[in-house]
């Protein structure tokens, strides 16, 4: 899922300082699961903003809304009545959600309350780690189900660099060396011969380096 | 401002666990132990039910101080509810700090149901602390606007 983190309150305060009526829009998808922009986080930010704005003598209302997914037109369109009353929509969804609101309500300001971080998963309660970079050409079947593109700091494709020490990465000792993990897993699976195969230089044109991407499924088109 | 401070009677809300603090408050009552009337009690089935939003909304509704009172650590009826509450209080304190109300207006206490005297001491301690801090910045605004309490 997409992992996000709330912006510092001072930044949110600055973003909202000129608005009168604010609608805080949460999303019940990924950001709710990573405890950044679900119903609870929306309620907390709304309460904080209401108190801060009252203390700063600012007029107006701070309303809350949470929809199923902020990245789909149908769910965002259903917010229209709430959106109409607001001057500013403060989205607590990922960057996709903010842009959906901006596109569906072109006359309204749509600002982000979160910083969208990466695609990942929770590894323990309260800790999320990056797993996928969306490079557009998956090689997990070759690497024991561990992605060297996203999880190796240098996205090395043929074994670790010289900075792998004790299973950790030289960039940050908190980061596991992806190639150590791949080696250990392939050995366990009895597939260590895979390590002898050389991977060709990767075609990065399927990644973001090839420009904004699109997926088309003809059978689903109208 | 000084005039306001002199007559200031803080509104304090105690979010109490049924199995300890609430029972301790009962004991304080039946034992005729005096504690400040500033403290208003809200009953919870466990402090594990006390979410951050309850703490913030209590301040939003006008409280000058809030405290969560749960069982002694290791003695929670639901095993870890009071430990969850401890973390949530810490988080809510940081939220109160960032908006300028001040995390020191929120506290967590642990006591057993047999500690009626301790309940009264906590109520007094919190009342004196908030009295010294003065009204919540949200209520100071209300007072400036001419509404007196």
For A12, other C-beta atoms within 10 Å of its C-beta total: 23
The answer as to whether A148 is a domain residue is yes
Angstrom distance (rounded) from CA B71 to CA B77: 8
Token readout for B148 is: 């007196």
User: Do residues A84 and A187 share a domain?
Assistant: no
Residue A214 located in a structural domain:
no
* DSSP bridge partners of A3: A118
Residues of B in contact with A47 (CB under 8 A): 53, 56-57, 60
C-alpha span between A173 and A165 (Å, rounded): 9
Say if the Cβ atoms of A54 and B138 lie within 8 Å: yes
Distance from CA of B14 to the nearest CA of A (A): 19
Q: Which residues pair with A114 in a beta bridge?
A: A6
The CA distance from A101 to A90, in Å, is 10
In a domain, B5, yes or no: no
Mutation to test the B interface, candidates A6, A48, A62, most B Cβ within 10 Å: A48
Which residues lie closer than 8 Å to A2 by C-beta, 6 or more apart? Answer: A29, A30, A31, A34, A94, A96, A116, A118, A119
Query: Same structural domain for residues A110 and A166?
Result: no
Contact status of A69 with chain B (Cβ, < 8 Å): no
Q: Is the pLDDT of residue A205 over 80?
A: yes
CA A72-A77-A83 angle, to 5 degrees, is 120
Owning domain of residue B139: 12-144
Clarify whether residues A11 and A113 are in a common domain. Answer: yes
DSSP-assigned beta bridge partners for residue A27: A67
Q: Which residues pair with A112 in a beta bridge?
A: A91
- Inside any domain, residue A217: no
Q: Both A44 and A109 in a single domain?
A: yes
Q: Indicate if A88 and A153 belong to the same structural domain.
A: no
The phi-psi region of residue A62 (left if phi > 0; otherwise alpha if psi is between -120 and 50; otherwise beta) is beta
Under the banding of pLDDT at 50, 70 and 90, the label for residue B148 is very low
Computed over every residue of chain A, the mean pLDDT equals 96
At A114-158, the pLDDT tens digits run 999 999 999 999 999 999 999 999 999 999 999 999 999 999 999
Instruction: Note whether residue B46 is domain-resident.
Output: yes
Q: Is residue B50 part of a domain?
A: yes
Is the per-residue pLDDT at B145 higher than 90? no
Same domain, A113 and A198: no
CA-only gyration radius of chain B, Å:
15
Identify the pLDDT of residue B7: 82
Chain A nearest C-alpha distance from B27 (Å): 35
Range of the domain at A102: 2-117
The answer to whether residue B125 scores a pLDDT higher than 50 is yes
Q: Using the 3D structure, point to which of A117, A150, A174 is the last residue of a domain.
A: A117
Check whether residue A174 and residue A88 sit in a common domain.
no
A33 touches chain B (CB under 8 A): no
Rounded-to-integer distance, Cα A99 and Cα A110, Å: 8
Pick from A9, A13, A47, A56 the residue to mutate for testing the B interface (most B CBs within 10 Å): A47
Q: Nearest-CA neighbor of A178 among A132, A135, A214, A212? A: A132
Residue A73 phi/psi, 5-degree rounding, is -55, -45
pLDDT in tens, A66-80: 999 999 999 999 999
DSSP code, position A148: H
Nearest residue of B to residue A8, measured between CA atoms: B98
Nearest Cα neighbor of A45 from A59, A27, A31, A25 is A25
Instruction: Measure B58 CA to nearest chain A CA, in Å.
Output: 10
Q: Are strands A22-27 and A2-6 parallel, antiparallel or unpaired?
A: unpaired
- Domain contains A140: yes
**Nearest chain A alpha carbon to B140:** A55
Residues A191 and A101 in one domain: no
- Give residue-wise pLDDT tens across range A155-185: 999 989 999 999 999 999 999 999 999 999 9
Give the best residue of A39, A42, A55 to mutate against chain B (max B CB count within 10 A).
A55
Domain count, chain A: 2
Q: Is B141 on the interface with A (CB under 8 A)?
A: yes
pLDDT for A77 equals 97
DSSP label at residue A7:
P
The span from the CA of A45 to the CA of B56, in Å, is: 10
Q: Are residues A75 and A144 in the same domain?
A: no
Q: What average pLDDT is seen over chain B?
A: 92
Q: How many domains does chain B have?
A: 1
Q: What is the pLDDT of residue B140?
A: 85
Q: Give contacts of A10 with chain B, Cβ < 8 Å.
A: 98
Q: Is B58 helix (H, G, I), strand (E, B) or coil?
A: helix
In-domain check, residue A41: yes
Extract the tokens encoding A38: 């679900």
Residues with Cβ < 8 Å from B121, sequence gap 6 or more? none
A81, A142: one domain = no
A110/A30 same-domain check: yes
Q: Is A140 on the interface with B (CB under 8 A)?
A: no
Is B149 part of any domain?
A: no
pLDDT band at B71 (very low <50, low <70, confident <90, very high): very high
Domain membership of residue A18 (yes or no) is yes
Domain annotation covers residue A157: yes
d(CA B110, CA B68): 8
Tokens representing residue A108 in the block: 């309204």
Smallest Cα–Cα separation from A47: which of A12, A3, A83?
A12
Nearest to B53 among A8, A47, A54 (CB): A47
Nearest C-alpha of chain A: how many angstroms from B97?
10
Same domain, A171 and A146: yes
CATH number of the domain to which B81 belongs: 3.40.50
Q: B50 with B44: CB under 8 angstroms? A: yes
Which residue of B lies nearest to A44 if distances are taken between CA atoms?
B53
Neighboring chain A residues of B52 at a CB cutoff of 8 Å: 40, 44
Domain with residue A57: its CATH number is 3.40.50.2300
From B43, B30, B11, B15, select the one nearest B116 (Cα to Cα): B30
Q: Under an 8 A CB cutoff, do B99 and A9 touch? A: yes
What is the rounded CA–CA span in Å between residue A89 and residue A22? 6
């Amino acid at each position: 899922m997409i992992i996000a983190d709330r912006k510092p309150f001072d930044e949110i305060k600055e973003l909202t300082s000129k608005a009168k009526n604010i609608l805080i829009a949460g999303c019940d998808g990924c950001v709710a699961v990573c405890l950044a922009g679900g119903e609870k986080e929306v309620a907390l930010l709304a309460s904080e903003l209401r108190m801060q704005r009252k203390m700063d003598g600012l007029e107006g209302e701070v309303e809350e809304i949470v929809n199923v997914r902020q990245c789909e037109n149908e769910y965002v369109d259903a917010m229209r009545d709430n959106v109409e009353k607001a001057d500013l929509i403060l989205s607590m969804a990922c960057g996709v959600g903010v842009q959906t609101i901006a596109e569906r309500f072109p006359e309204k300001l749509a600002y982000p309350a979160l910083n969208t971080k990466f695609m990942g998963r929770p590894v323990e309660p309260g800790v999320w780690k990056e797993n996928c970079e969306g490079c557009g050409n998956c090689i997990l079947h070759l690497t024991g189900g561990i992605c060297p593109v996203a999880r190796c700091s240098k996205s090395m494709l043929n074994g670790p660099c010289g900075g792998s020490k004790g299973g950790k990465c030289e960039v940050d000792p908190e980061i596991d060396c992806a190639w150590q993990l791949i080696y250990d897993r392939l050995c366990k699976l009895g597939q260590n011969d895979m390590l002898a195969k050389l991977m060709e230089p990767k075609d990065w044109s399927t990644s973001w380096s090839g420009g904004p991407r699109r997926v088309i499924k003809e059978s689903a088109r109208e | 401002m000084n005039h306001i401070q002199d007559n200031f009677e803080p509104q304090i809300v105690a979010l109490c666990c049924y199995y300890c603090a609430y029972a301790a408050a009962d004991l304080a009552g039946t034992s005729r132990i005096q504690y400040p009337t500033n403290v208003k009690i809200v009953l919870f089935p466990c402090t594990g039910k006390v979410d951050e939003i309850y703490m913030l909304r209590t301040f939003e509704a006008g409280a000058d101080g809030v405290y969560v009172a749960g069982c002694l650590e290791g003695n929670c009826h639901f095993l870890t509810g009071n430990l969850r509450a401890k973390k949530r209080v810490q988080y809510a304190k940081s939220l109160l700090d960032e908006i300028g109300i001040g995390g020191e207006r929120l506290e967590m206490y642990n006591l057993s149901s047999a500690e009626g005297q301790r309940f009264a001491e906590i109520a007094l301690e919190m009342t004196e602390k908030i009295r010294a801090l003065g009204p919540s910045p949200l209520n100071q605004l209300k007072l400036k606007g001419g509404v007196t309490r």
